[in-house]
Structure 1
């Protein structure tokens, strides 16, 4: 977006991405292959009826990111780029159990949807350990926090605190 932003009467100073598939995801490759081109339109129609956004799904493949998006969207010279990755080992009940296994075999260490390798862009700030892709958007934290309280296994990752830390880091960088 920064590369193609119009109008240009303001200045973007930085971009920070968190577990973003800069080089695509083998999970997207696998899902699209399993669905097949003939059924993809039906899936998009069903998801649209459920009000689930699907516009970018096919654009998450490794081929699209490597050969189409990244070449057409170069970094801007005076913008600072930061990135974070995430990785975890899914529990038996995790929604990411199968996708994590597939991604680990093909791309390595991952958060269930995006590999650490694909997450790296610009100045890599580090890998969030024991954090799933849903944890990053604070989706599953409420249940995990409750389960952790009950079982005595308190969660270590706090998405809100993490994003506040990023804002603090950017402020310290003068951005």
Structure 2
């Protein structure tokens, strides 16, 4: 299998401890569980490295697919429907969500009750909880040279049967004025988060310009989401690296109590104590 998201993390020396709860891996904008472009080529998996590492530890792993660019509400409804296939379940689930997938999960937890299964914790990785300055930039016709291409892009998406609401819902204003005020955390769910920051992308990288916009507006970022916007619940740390691989974590000081190993998602999912230590501190 070819890895999409898994290539961004390294998973050395993972302890063979079975995660306490079944794991749901929720993908981000334009994401998928598995993409097969041709019967002659291997499938591309969004969560390949992470899913395989968790499965090797004996975890039950679910990789649902939601509409790639639809509204948060529509994506959340699809996530809920995917969980219905596993109900009733004797155990609670942990949701690990990347980017926009974290917003889908938060919406589902807050608005789509009753939930088909019990959720013990939500772990978000580089999720724009407070929006993205690049989304603001993209939609600003006065400053963005890319804005002129949006109508054509929207038409292309609509002809393909895809939604376009995701773009406007990732702005900082939408998150601050609409989504966050109306989407409170659940008292019975633990919330954890990681941020991500990359070095300046290479000259020909499609993330070079977004990264520059984000850096000027919000500081350290992964090319689309800032570290500051990634904070939600108990913040576990910032993944650092470059556009090819996450090499190390923010804090490698042995005296620090906030050290995050290079395989943070797997270790947190496997930590039978960590899930219970989260705080709803947003």
TM-score, length-scaled by structure 1: 0.74
Contact 2:268 / 2:275 at 8 angstroms: preserved in 1?
Answer: no
Q: Aligned pair 1:156/2:243, yes or no?
A: no
State which of 137, 158, 178 in structure 2 corresponds to 1:48: 158
CA distance in 2, matches of 1:174, 1:81: 9
Q: Please say if residues 85 and 119 of structure 1, whose CA atoms lie closer than 8 Å, have aligned partners that are also in contact.
A: yes
Report what 1:20 is aligned to: 127
Post-superposition Cα deviations, 1:45-86, rounded to whole Å, max 9, x if no partner, equal 212335655331110000000000000101112211100000
Give the drift of 1:165. Answer: 2.6
Greater strand share, 1 or 2? 2
Written as runs of structure 1 = structure 2, the 5 A alignment for 1:108-127 is: 108-127=219-238
RCO higher in structure (CA 8 A, sep ≥6): 1
Distance in structure 1 (CA, Å) of the matches to 2:134 and 2:215: 10
Count of aligned pairs: 151
- Alpha carbons of 1:131 and 1:72: their partners in 2 closer, same or farther (altered >3 Å)? farther
CA RMSD of aligned residues (A): 2.7
- In 2, Cα distance between the equivalents of 1:174 and 1:85? 18
Deviations, residues 61-118 of structure 1 (Å, cap 9, x unaligned): 0000000000010111221110000001122232211111111111000000000000
Q: Can you list the C-alpha shifts for 1:98-155, whole angstroms capped at 9, x where unaligned? A: 11111111100000000000000010000000155xxxxxxxxxxx58xxxxxxxxx7
* Match among 234, 240, 247 for residue 129 of structure 1: 240
Q: How does 1:27-66 map to 2 (within 5 A)?
A: 27-33=134-140, 34=144, 40-50=150-160, 53-66=163-176
| Aligned residue in 1 for 2:187 | 77
Judged with a 3 Å threshold, the aligned counterparts in structure 2 of structure 1 residues 126 and 53 are, in CA distance, closer, same or farther, namely farther
More helix by share: 1
Indicate the residue corresponding to 1:97 in structure 2: 208
Partner in structure 2 of residue 167 of structure 1: 269
- For residue 156 of structure 1, report the CA deviation from its aligned partner: 3.5
Q: Mind listing any 5+ residue stretches in structure 2 that lack a counterpart?
A: 1-107, 249-262, 277-282
Stretch of structure 1 that moved more, 102-111 or 86-95: 86-95
Question: What corresponds to 2:178 in structure 1?
Answer: 68
